[in-house]
Chains A and B, each alone.
Chain A
Amino acid sequence: MARQEQKKDVVIVGLGWTGSIAGIELAQEGLEIVALERGHDQNTVPDFQYPQQIDELKYGVRLKMMQKLSQQTLTVRRSGDETALPYRSLGSFLPGNGVGGAGTHWNGLNWRPQPAELKLRSHVVENWGEGIIPEGMNLGDYPVSYDDLEPFFTQFEKVAGISGYAGNLNGEIREGGNPFEGWRSEDYPMPPLPTTYDSSKFQAAAKAMGYHPFPAPAGIASTAYVNPYGMQMGPCNFCGFCERFGCYQYSKSSPQTTILDALKRYPNFSYRTQSEVLRVELAADGKTATGVTYWDDAAQEEVFQPADMVILSSYQLNNVHLMLLSGLGEAYNPLTGEGTLGKNYAYQMNGGITMFFREEEFNPFVGHGANGMVIDDFSISQNDFGAEGFIGGSYWRSGTFNGQPIRNMPLPAGTPAWGAGWKQAIGENYGHAMSIGSHGSHMAYANNHLDLDPTYTDRHGRPLMRMTFNWQDNDLRMNQFMKSKMEPLAASMNPDLMQAGFKNIGAQYDVRPYQTTHNTGGHIMSENAREGVVNRYSQTWKAHNVFAMGAGNFVQNTQYNPTGLVGALAYHTVNAIRTQYLSNPRPLV
Chain B
Amino acid sequence: MKTFLRIVAGLVVLGGIALLAFIFVPVQRTQPVAELPADWQPEPGQGEYVLNASDCVACHTSDEGGTLAGGKAIASPMGTIWSTNITPDPETGIGNWSFDDFRGAMIDGVEPDGTHLYPAMPYENYRLMTEEDMRALYDYLMTEVQPVKNEVEETALSFPFNLRFGIRAWNWLALTHGPGFTPAEVSDVQDRGQYLVEGPGHCAACHSPRSPFMSQDGVTVDDANFLAGGVINGWNAPALRGEDSDLNRWTVSETAAYLATGRNAHSTANGEMGLVVEHSLQKLTDEDNIAMAAFLKGLDGDAVEVPETLAPRAGSIEVPEADKAGEADTAMLIDSDPDMPLGARLYTDNCIGCHFATGKGAPEIFPELQGNRLVNGSETKPLISVILNGAEVASTAKRPMTLRMQGYADRLSDEEVAELATWLRGAWGNDAPAISAADVAAVRASAASH
**Taking beta carbons and an 8 Å cutoff, which residues of A are in contact with B?**
43-46, 49-51, 189-191, 222-235, 237, 239, 248-250, 257, 261-262, 264-265
Contact = CB atoms under 8 A, between A and B. Distances in A.
B315 A226 contact: yes
A483 to B, nearest CB: 38
A189 B316 CA distance: 6
Contacts of A248: 353, 406
Interface string B377-421: 000000000000010000101111111111000010000000000
A264 B396 CA distance: 11
Interface stretch (B4-12, B269-277, B358-366): B358-366
Given A45-B405, A223-B318, A229 B400 contact: yes
A233 B401 CA distance: 10
Nearest to A256: B401
B404 A225 contact: no
B317 A265 contact: no
A227 B400 CA distance: 11
27 contacts: A46-B406, A50-B350, A189-B315, A191-B316, A223-B318, A224-B318, A224-B365, A224-B366, A225-B315, A225-B316, A225-B317, A226-B313, A226-B314, A227-B314, A230-B398, A230-B401, A231-B400, A232-B399, A234-B354, A235-B319, A237-B356, A248-B406, A249-B354, A250-B403, A261-B402, A262-B400, A265-B397
Task: Report which residue of A49, A51, A226, A248 has the largest number of chain B beta carbons within 10 angstroms of its beta carbon.
Answer: A226
Nearest to B353: A237
A222 B404 CA distance: 20
B363 A224 contact: yes
B298 interface: no
Task: Report which residue of B314, B390, B398, B400 has the largest number of chain A beta carbons within 10 angstroms of its beta carbon.
Answer: B400
A43 B404 CA distance: 10
Interface in B163-210: none
Nearest to A239: B353
A250 B364 CA distance: 12
Given A232-B403, A265-B395, 6 more contacts: A191-B316, A226-B314, A226-B317, A232-B399, A237-B352, A239-B353
B66 interface: no
A229 B314 CA distance: 10
A180 B309 CA distance: 41
Interface residues of B toward A: which range?
Answer: 20 to 34
Task: Report which residue of A51, A228, A235, A265 has the largest number of chain B beta carbons within 10 angstroms of its beta carbon.
Answer: A235
Contact of B316 (A223, A229, A230, A261): A223
B313 to A, nearest CB: 7
Contacts of B354: 234, 237, 249
A224 B404 contact: no
Given A51-B411, A223-B317, A226-B364, A232 B353 contact: no
B401 A235 contact: no
B65 interface: no
B198 to A, nearest CB: 31
Contacts of B364: 224, 226, 232
Contacts of A249: 353-354
A231 B401 contact: yes
A261 B353 contact: no
A239 B398 CA distance: 30
A226 B365 CA distance: 9
Contacts of A45: 390, 404-406
Interface in B317-351: 317-319, 350
Given A230-B398, A234-B362, A265-B400, A224 B353 contact: no
A257 B400 CA distance: 10
Give 8 closest A-B pairs by Cβ, nearest first.
A45-B404, A262-B400, A224-B362, A49-B406, A224-B317, A190-B316, A234-B365, A226-B314
Q: Is the interface of B mostly helix, strand, loop or mixed?
A: loop
Nearest to B352: A237
A256 to B, nearest CB: 9
Nearest to A223: B316
A50 B316 CA distance: 25
A50 B319 contact: no
A223 B353 contact: no
A44 B404 contact: yes
A157 B448 CA distance: 44
B312 interface: yes
A45 B408 CA distance: 12
Contacts of A223: 316-319, 362
Contacts of B365: 224, 232-234, 250
Contact of B401 (A46, A51, A237, A262): A262
A265 B356 CA distance: 31
Nearest to B399: A230
Contacts of A265: 395, 397, 400
B400 A261 contact: yes
B401 A261 contact: yes
Interface string B132-169: 00000000000000000000000000000000000000
B312 A226 contact: yes
Contacts of B314: 226-228, 230
A215 to B, nearest CB: 15
Contacts of A229: 400
Task: Report which residue of B313, B315, B317, B352 has the largest number of chain A beta carbons within 10 angstroms of its beta carbon.
Answer: B315
A232 B404 CA distance: 12
B254 to A, nearest CB: 14
A270 B171 CA distance: 49
A577 B246 CA distance: 47
B135 to A, nearest CB: 30
A294 to B, nearest CB: 27
Contacts of B397: 265
A479 B317 CA distance: 41
A232 B401 contact: yes
Nearest to A265: B400
Contacts of A257: 401
Contact of A50 (B312, B353, B366, B400): B353
Contacts of A191: 316
A526 to B, nearest CB: 37
Contacts of A228: 314
A222 to B, nearest CB: 8
A444 to B, nearest CB: 38
Given A191-B316, A223-B318, A224-B317, A235 B362 contact: yes
Given A45-B390, A224-B362, A230 B400 contact: yes
Contacts of A264: 395, 400
A233 B398 CA distance: 15
A517 to B, nearest CB: 26
Contacts of B356: 237
Contacts of A222: 316
Contacts of B400: 229-231, 261-262, 264-265
A72 B397 CA distance: 38
Contacts of A232: 364-365, 399, 401, 403
Contacts of A234: 354, 362, 365-366
Contacts of B398: 230
A46 B411 CA distance: 14
A191 B318 CA distance: 10
Contacts of A262: 400-401
Nearest to B405: A45
Contacts of B316: 189-191, 222-225
A99 to B, nearest CB: 14
A44 B398 CA distance: 20
Nearest to B350: A50
Contacts of B402: 43, 261
A334 to B, nearest CB: 47
